[in-house]
Structures are given as structure tokens and as C-alpha cells.
Amino acid sequence: MTQRIALITGGGTGIGRACALAFARRGMGVVVNYSRSQAEAEATAEEVRALGVPALAVRADVADDRQVREMVGTVLDRFGRLDVLVNNAGTTDYVDHADLEGLTDERWDRVWDVNVKGLFHCARAAADALKEARGAMVNVLSVAGLTGLGSSIAYAASKAAGISVTKSLARVLAPQVRVNGVAPGIVMTRWVMGHDDHVQRLAADTPLQRAATPEDVAEVVVALAEARFVTGEIVKVDGGRFL
């Protein structure tokens, strides 16, 4: 059987890295996308290779459609196929929800360009290859998109839009491609470093009494990528906090 390939955006750190290793443990080759974290992406690719499968780190800003198309072209030139796309790249900016003036157009635009347009750029560029492989797409979203809470109003809105895009793509790419999303709550990544009180408060209000690890989220990403009769679903990974 030809080596199956997963492309993970924002794959060098946090949830992306955990996804890369989880797919590698299932025998899939992995392409680790990064925008700025080159050293981390290269390190993750090396960890993947150590598991006995091929890996490649590729730079592309998902907010730039041209870069995304070039990245997918590189994947196909190198491996000849693409079976799974994990849209994990994202950005945020901590702005108190009550600080309406603080949420500038510049902040809105960057969050929207990465979290919404970036997701769509990657989906569009990969669509034909995923159809050919009868593959899967999993979008890493957030419970913020369901609750309106989160690091800023712009971030919550971007994740709500991502949920909508996920459902739309599940319809238009069917039946060849299954498209699902995961909506994590608080996850122990570098995004929450320095916000210990915030993390502890949220964990205390969660039935499972802790924040998620990147591996907790990756476990669900892989399950959705492999689930043959599930599409258009958004699975919360929040320890039951928003039951």
C-alpha cells in the first residue's frame, strides 16, 4: 500500500505536534506546516521520522492563498498524494470582551485571516487531492465558537465562522471527503503560558477537573480522520465543561 500522508498546519507545536506524532504512530507520513516556528517544526518532523515514517517541514502562512497552494503542490510533488488535512493553524490576541475600543481592525483582520480564510485556503487547495484519496479533513476549532467566550470577541467569532465553514465543506466535498471539527476548551499549550490563574479557574469548573493536553485533542482528531461514516460533526474536547 502506498504511504498515506497527513498535512498538519501549525504542526510544529502544541496540538499540531501531538497530531503529527499520533498520525505517525499509525504509520502515516506527515507534513508539518509552520509559519514562524521553523525550529519547532523541524524538530517535530525529526520526531516523526524517528517513528519510522517520512516527514517534511514546509513553511507557509495559511493567510496567504499563494503560499498555501505552493505548499500543497510541494506535498504532492514529494509524496504524490494527500489523505488527511488537519487545519490546526490559528492565532489569537487577548483583548477583554468589554474593551470594545481595544479590538482594533488590525486585530480583527489578522485573527480572521488566519482562523477563517486560512482554513478555507487550505481546504480549497487540498480538495482535489483529498477527493482522489477519499480522505478526511479535521478542523481544530474551539468551544469559544459555541459559547462566545474566549480570548477576544474576534477570536470567538472566528471560531464560530470556522464551525460554519466546516459544515459547508462537509456538504460540498461529500461523498469523497469527510470533514469534521474538534472544539477544545482550555488546552495546555504555549497560548496559555502566564495565565495560570485563568487555567486553574477553568479546570476547577470542569467535571474532569483538569485542562486538556495536546494529546487529548490529537486523540479525537485522529478518531475523526478515521471514522468512515461521520461528517459535518463538531466534537467538543473540553472535559465536560460546557455540557
pLDDT in tens, the chain (243 residues): 479 999 999 999 999 999 999 999 999 999 999 999 999 999 999 999 999 999 999 999 999 999 999 999 999 999 999 999 999 999 998 899 999 999 999 999 999 999 999 999 999 999 999 999 999 999 999 999 999 998 999 999 999 999 999 999 999 999 999 999 999 988 877 766 665 666 777 778 899 988 889 999 999 999 999 999 999 999 999 999 998
- What is the structure's pLDDT at 186? 80
Per the structure, the complete domain to which residue 213 belongs is given by 5-237
Residue 205 within a domain = yes
The CA angle 229-231-233, to the nearest 5 degrees, is 125
Residue 76 within a domain = yes
Residue 156 within a domain = yes
Residue 102 within a domain = yes
Sheet with 29-34, side-by-side order of all strands: 55-59, 29-34, 5-8, 84-87, 136-140, 178-184, 234-237
Residue 206 within a domain = yes
Residue 243 within a domain = no
Which CATH number covers residue 89? Answer: 3.40.50.720
155: annotated active-site residue? yes
- What is the structure's pLDDT at 156? 97
Q: Which of 114, 126, 155, 217 is catalytic?
A: 155
Q: How many structural domains comprise the chain? A: 1
Residue 160 within a domain = yes
Residue 242 within a domain = no
